[in-house]
Amino acid sequence: MTTSGRPAEQDRSRPRRPRTAARGRSREDVGWVKAHGGSGATSLAEALGGVDVGARWPEPARGEPYRIALVGRTSASGLRSVSQALGALKDGKAPQGLELLSVVLVADAPGRLPLTLLRHIRVLRSVARVHRVPWIPAWRTDSRMSHIPRQLVTLARLVGSDVFGEGAVS
């Protein structure tokens, strides 16, 4: 997190280039905001479309997306970064007119989370809608997914993406 309150800095089954704020921006797209570097925002933008705005808040007054998803990993430091970004958003340190669709937590490793991290997620859920994305091995190896996790289909619906179509199953 910077002192200004801004966050600090693929689905491979369907190749897509994420649209950045510099190209293809639209107020109707979803802006994927990184709470920290390595959050998974780029992979989500590639998988579901939208604009990977990086480690800053989009500015709707400039035509950038007003609907945002704040993305972080499920590690302790990732959850702290998400908490700080949510605090900045709540305290008005982000541009006016942003609509937080969800906090998207991308698994930092396969397997179950420790209880301490689950408790932190419970606190996040008390202040914002939280959507969890499981560990996706294909993203690590830059290969094609053998199946589409149910959580990605649900997230696609939330952000208004039809990338996986109506018949997608996990």
Mean pLDDT, to the nearest integer, of 64-87? 97
With H, G, I as helix, E, B as strand and everything else as coil, classify residue 155.
helix
**pLDDT tens across 97-135, in order?**
999 999 999 999 999 999 999 999 999 999 999 999 999
Alpha carbon distances (Å) from 146 to 12, 49, 72, 96: 10, 20, 24, 41
Q: In the prediction, which pLDDT does 12 show?
A: 38
- For residue 8, the cross-strand partners are none
pTM over 0.85: no
**Structure tokens given for 141:** 């190896």
Confidence of residue 149 (pLDDT cuts 50, 70, 90): confident
State the residue for tokens 């290969």. 143
